[in-house]
Structure 1
Amino acid sequence: MIPLDDEFRIGLEPWMDRAKCKGRPTEDYDIDNLPSPLLVANRRQAAAQLCQKCPVFAECAWYAYRYRIVGWVMAGIPVKLQRNEQHRAQLLGIAARAGIADAQKELSKGAA
C-alpha cells in the first residue's frame, strides 16, 4: 500500500495512479490490521492477496525499498520493523527481477 495520506506523504510518482490500492482505505494495508501475527502464513497470504495482480507491483516494491517504508503492506509483503532488512531484501529482489534499472544497480552493489 502506498501511504498517501498527509501524515505519510513522501512523494507522488506517476505510476501510483495505476496502483490497485489507489482509492482503497489506507487501513486495509496497515500491517496491524492483518490476521494475527501468530498465524504468519495467514498474514503473508492476506498481504499477497491485497496486491495480487497489481499492475505496478515492482514499482511499489522499489518505492518501499528506497523510502524504507515499514508498517504497511507493500508489493504484497507485510513490512515489519523487526524484520525490516529481510523485507527490504525481498522488495529489492522484486524490483530488480522486474527490470527496474536502479534496483538492479542497487542489488549489484550488494545492498539490501
Structure 2
Amino acid sequence: MKEQIFLYCKVKVVDGDVALIRVESSSEKFVTTVLPFITLISGSEVVLRSLFVGRSIRACEKFLIRYRRTELYSLLRHAEPGVEKNATLKALNSVSGKLNC
C-alpha cells in the first residue's frame, strides 16, 4: 500500500508575477525542491522559482519591498528620458522617499 503525503499550504498572489506560499517549516525543503517541476497552472505555462525563504510574513514583506525597489532602480537606469523616466521616478519616490535624477 502506498503512503500518502499531505501538504497544507496557503498561497497568496502578491502581484501578477509573485506569489507567497505559506507552509509549515517542516515542509519548506519539499516545496522548494518541487517548485521547478511545476510547469502548468490552470492551463497556463509557468516557470516557478524560489526568491526568498522567510520565517515570518513580515520578513517576506521586507524582502519583497527590497526586490521591487531593485527592479525599479533597474528600470530607471534604462528608462528613456521623458514620460517613462518620470513614471519610474514617481514609483520609486512612493517607496523610497524623494529622489532626483
TM > 0.5 fold call: no
Larger radius of gyration between Structure 1 and Structure 2: 2
Normalising by the residue count of structure 1, what TM-score does the alignment of the two structures yield? 0.28
Higher relative contact order (CA 8 A, sep 6+): 1
Which structure has the highest helix share of the two? 1
Normalising by the residue count of structure 2, what TM-score does the alignment of the two structures yield? 0.30
